[in-house]
Amino acid sequence: MNLFVELVARLLGVTPAMASDNALRGLYLPPEASTSAGHIDWMFDVILWICIFFFVLIVVLMGLFIMRYRVKDPNAEGPRIYHNTALEVTWTAIPLGIVVVIFWLGFKGYMDLAVPPANAYEIQVTGQKWSWSFTYPTGHVDNVLHVPTDRPVTLIMTSTDVIHSMYLPAFRAKMDVFPGRYSKLWFDADEPGTYPLFCAEYCGTEHSSMISEVVVQEGPEFDEWLTVASNILATMTPEEGGKYLWEKRGCNQCHSVDGSAGIGPTFVNLFGAQRAFGDGTTTVADENYIRKSILEPQSQIVAGFDGVMPTFQGRFNDEELGAMIAYIKSLTSS
Amino acid sequence: MSSATDHAEESNYLNAKPGLMSWLTTLDHKRIGVMYLISILTAFFIAGMLAMLVRTELLTPGRTIVDPDTYNQFFTLHGAIMVFMFIIPGIPAALGNFVLPLMLGAKDVAFPRLNLMSWYLWVFGGVFAVVSMVTGAVDTGWTFYTPYSTDTSTSVINMTLGVFILGFASIFTGINFVVTIHKLRPAGMTWWRMPLMLWGLYATAIIQVLATPVIGITMLLLIAERTLGVGIFDPALGGDPLLYQHFFWFYSHPAVYIMILPAMGVISELISVHSRKTIFGYQAIALSSVAIAAFSFIVWGHHMFTAMSPMANMVFSALTFSVSIPSAVKTFNWLATLYRGHIRLNTPMLYALSFLFLFGIGGLTGLFLGTLAVDVHLHDTYFVVAHFHYVMFGGTVIAFLGGLHHWWPKMFGRMYNEGLAKLACFLIFIGFNITFMSQFIMGSLGMPRRYYDYIDAYGSYHVWSSIGAYIMAVGFFLTAGYLIHSLIAGKKAVENPWGAATLEWRTASPPIEHNFHETPDANYPYDYSVNRFNPDTGNYDHIGAPAQEDDDRAVGFHGHGLESTT
């Protein structure tokens, strides 16, 4: 019964929504938040009207012929109209002309999307099953994409495992992200707000959870955010810093802090505990153990877990490793 | 003369030889066609039920009935079974096998044993693939993209071996049809006097023979990488993941035309016969089939617009648009055939008209996706899902259903309940549009495909889409019901209930084991003066060959020597 009520509510479109959720509501295209979106939507509309014209033409003619030329005598045969060269040339040439124009417009619009401007602000993106991380020029790493309105942005993207695809519907921008190579995606955001960010290439179990947000901010506001975010560990105790990193670097997807089992072991009561590995060896979880688990996770897989954790070598500096160790220590009740 | 009553006591291909073994060892193309029909309908039922599970899971965001891994297996199975086991063999191997030799006035296909082998390969490959997918929990999607498919722990190897075997079933059918059409046409049937169904099957067969080996090799390379660690596709081994996509689509895009070309052949027959008017632009329709077959080999790159270089994208975008022209030409020809016809709104014709409506939408929405700038936004969203369902379902499946209802009396010698058939056609048409029109909208709003969970903005469209799917299911169960009923208690069918002029209607319904008592003379297949309605029997009696003058005008190549018989 609850399901039924929920479905009726959904049919009528009255559903609870997050802020960024609303950002994708629209008649048939999401709101435009980049300088390219307007042109792409214009092209979409041009093609839409061409399609509507031809579709209505086909259906109306079909309807007229059905009504007008119904069978009355089972033996009556329609006139032997075998072909009509003039008509056939016309209905070949007109669609040909139309698709040539559509192709050309689409190609020109695409070249604008494909070639990033030289002065673009660069953000490094790493896709992995099943999260995104964004590295800013200051070295700050975040799981939410923040971009300024006052300059074009280029995302330089790679994957640590399978193919993903960066999709920003509000910018009408999308590019596949490959392991072992870099691909680029650029845009010039012009409408402050928060919009969804999807993975568009199927990547396994949690593919549909590989979503994040893009926060578009005015230039000065963005700069201020980045300064604060880049130095955030300095404003926190190491324990608070570790908790912050646990959320921001995606540790929270697999490692719980409430004792429940996840894809990886919980952090609760981990420090100081005896760890038994898949190969039968054991060790006590000390600072070195935690450091090694972050940088070389495959070297010590705890018994009962799959070795699915990617390495974070190069993505945690010493200060951050220290914060993680402090945080995990604080989760051990003594 | 009414041969329907004359032949009443004569045995037909269905009862000529009794027992299961006589079916399993048969070399009769009609029996193999029926066996293929039963097999592909079984596959269609399984894949259709999986679609219902997918749509049910998507009724609400988050978990509705299953967990994400199970959902991923559902859509993988749905896609793989539908594509490799239903749509690709659907019209050629089931309907085509049955009607192709009959349309030629021939006794059988050129290689009857190869034909039976094709069916056994289908069964073996199909069972192998389905069993390994179910037991091995394959979750890669029907496209098996690397490196996901080389990394995943599921039994991809068995699945791809299954696809490899199914590919050979398809190649065998293709070889058989090419040779049969070249060698077994009767006296009087020049290339330009072949029914357009045969042009469609011929173009299809060429693609089957030329393109299918590529998927076979690709699957073997995938297996080599997984088992031997040869670095072909996986970057961790020094391979290139995009290379896999090139190989895969080099087959799988032409495969789209393996699916649609025979459907276009069916529609050409249905529209002409049920308007009782010669097809308009015979040569344009025939040649556009060949043109589509040729273009189909050079457009695969449009599946990778968000992965390739701008230069490659430009070339593939331009080539992709070239396919739209022959498709548009065909549509206009069919419309022009309706003009001043004598249109009979029976079930086959309703399906043919549904095809014009749905394939029209499917084809036109391809323009959005061929356009580079717009495709970047729509790529890998529900817009693409809706587009290819309008082409594959609205095109191929609707044409298959139309063809099935058109040739049903010939295949089984029974008529079905016309009222229920029209109702089912209506339910399928309405349900289909509700299902996939919602998907067009949520796709252009940004909903990515293959998502287990989704944000609330798309909620109402998903519910509508599922409701449409349930309506379609009702239509299909109704169809299954009245077709099975017709086999048991349907009215006996006459030899030629529709007044068609192609040769398969010049023998009893169902045909005798060797098809014809004597080889019929081929006439221009859309000249309806060759038969006359007999109000007493309901049959269109054959009354003789048409006037030669009309025949020559029909082919339009008068004086060029092309109308001479071979």
Residue A15 domain-assigned?
no
Residue A178 domain-assigned?
yes
Regarding whether A267 and A194 lie in a shared domain, the answer is no
Count helices and strands (H / E) in chain A. 8, 12
Q: Which chain A residues contact residue B336 at CB under 8 A?
A: 81, 84, 87
What's the CATH number where B96 sits? 1.20.210.10
Residue A8 domain-assigned?
no
Per-residue DSSP letter, A207: G
Regarding whether A252 and A212 lie in a shared domain, the answer is no
Task: Calculate how close chain B gets to A48, using CA atoms only, in Å.
Answer: 8
Residue B286 domain-assigned?
yes
Regarding whether A198 and A143 lie in a shared domain, the answer is yes
pLDDT range class, residue B149, cuts 50, 70, 90: confident
pLDDT at B359: 96
Is B456–A78 a contact, with Cβ atoms under 8 angstroms apart?
no
| Max CA pair span of chain A | 97
Residue A16 domain-assigned?
no
For A102, nearest residue in chain B (alpha carbons) = B371
Integer Cα distance of B114 and B178 in angstroms? 13
Number of folded domains that form chain B: 1
Q: Of A230, A245, A273, which residue sits at a domain end?
A: A230
Integer Cα distance of B478 and A249 in angstroms? 54
Residue B561 domain-assigned?
no
Residue A9 domain-assigned?
no
Regarding whether A205 and A277 lie in a shared domain, the answer is no
| pLDDT tens profile B21-39 | 999 999 999 999 999 999 9
Q: Of A189, A214, A230, which residue sits at a domain end?
A: A230
Structure-block tokens of residue B72: 């991923």
Task: Calculate how close chain A gets to B193, using CA atoms only, in Å.
Answer: 13
Q: Which chain A residues contact residue B434 at CB under 8 A?
A: none
- Cα A253 versus chain centre, distance: 17
| pLDDT tens profile B340-359 | 999 999 999 999 999 999 99
What torsion, rounded to 10 degrees, do the Cα atoms B134, B135, B139, B143 define? -70
Of A279-293, B434-448, B463-477, the least confident: A279-293
Regarding whether A162 and A33 lie in a shared domain, the answer is yes
Regarding whether A248 and A115 lie in a shared domain, the answer is no
pLDDT range class, residue B478, cuts 50, 70, 90: very high
Taking Cα atoms as reference points, which of A258, A264, A280 lies closest to residue A312? Answer: A264
Ramachandran angles phi, psi of A126, nearest 5°: -120, 125
Residue B224 domain-assigned?
yes
Instruction: Classify A148 as helix, strand or coil.
Output: strand
What torsion, rounded to 10 degrees, do the Cα atoms B431, B434, B437, B442 define? -130
Residue B260 domain-assigned?
yes
- Determine the residue among B73, B234, B358, B377 to mutate to test chain A binding: the one whose Cβ has the most chain A Cβ atoms within 10 Å: B377
Regarding whether A307 and A248 lie in a shared domain, the answer is yes
Integer Cα distance of B154 and B143 in angstroms? 15
- Interface predicted TM-score of the whole assembly (ipTM), two decimals: 0.90
pLDDT at A11: 66
Integer Cα distance of A293 and A288 in angstroms? 8
Domain that holds residue B172: 32-555
Angle (CA) A196-A200-A204 rounded to 5° is: 115
Residue A258 domain-assigned?
yes
Chain A 58-77, CB below 8 Å of chain B: which residues? 58-59, 61-62, 65-66, 69-77
pLDDT range class, residue A264, cuts 50, 70, 90: confident
Q: Which chain B residues contact residue A13 at CB under 8 A?
A: 459-460
Is A77–B528 a contact, with Cβ atoms under 8 angstroms apart?
yes
Residue B100 domain-assigned?
yes
For B317, nearest residue in chain A (alpha carbons) = A103
Is A16–B456 a contact, with Cβ atoms under 8 angstroms apart?
yes
Strands (E), B164-230: none
Contacts with B483 (C-beta within 8 Å, 6 or more apart), sequence order? B408, B416
Mean predicted confidence (pLDDT) in A186-197: 93
Q: Of A189, A212, A230, which residue sits at a domain end?
A: A230
Number of folded domains that form chain A: 2
Is A73–B342 a contact, with Cβ atoms under 8 angstroms apart?
yes
Q: Which helix (H) or strand (E) holds A132?
A: strand A131-135
Structure-block tokens of residue B288: 């556009």
Per-residue DSSP letter, B17: S
Count helices and strands (H / E) in chain B. 20, 2
Residue B4 domain-assigned?
no
- In angstroms and rounded to an integer, the radius of gyration of the C-alpha atoms of chain A is 28
Regarding whether A242 and A193 lie in a shared domain, the answer is no
For A81, nearest residue in chain B (alpha carbons) = B280
pLDDT at B129: 86
Could you please report the per-residue DSSP string of B95-148? IIHHHHHHHTT-SS-S-HHHHHHHHHHHHHHHHHHHHHHHHHT--STTTT-TTH
Domain that holds residue A315: 236-330
Regarding whether A183 and A152 lie in a shared domain, the answer is yes
Regarding whether A180 and A325 lie in a shared domain, the answer is no
Integer Cα distance of A308 and A296 in angstroms? 12
Average pLDDT of every residue of chain B: 90
Regarding whether A165 and A60 lie in a shared domain, the answer is yes
Q: Which chain B residues contact residue A43 at CB under 8 A?
A: 371, 373-374
Residue B20 domain-assigned?
no
Regarding whether A270 and A175 lie in a shared domain, the answer is no
- Determine the residue among A3, A4, A10, A27 to mutate to test chain B binding: the one whose Cβ has the most chain B Cβ atoms within 10 Å: A10
A:B CB pairs within 8 Å:
311
Q: Which chain A residues contact residue B439 at CB under 8 A?
A: none
Is B343–A70 a contact, with Cβ atoms under 8 angstroms apart?
yes
Q: Is A163 near chain B, with CB under 8 Å? A: yes
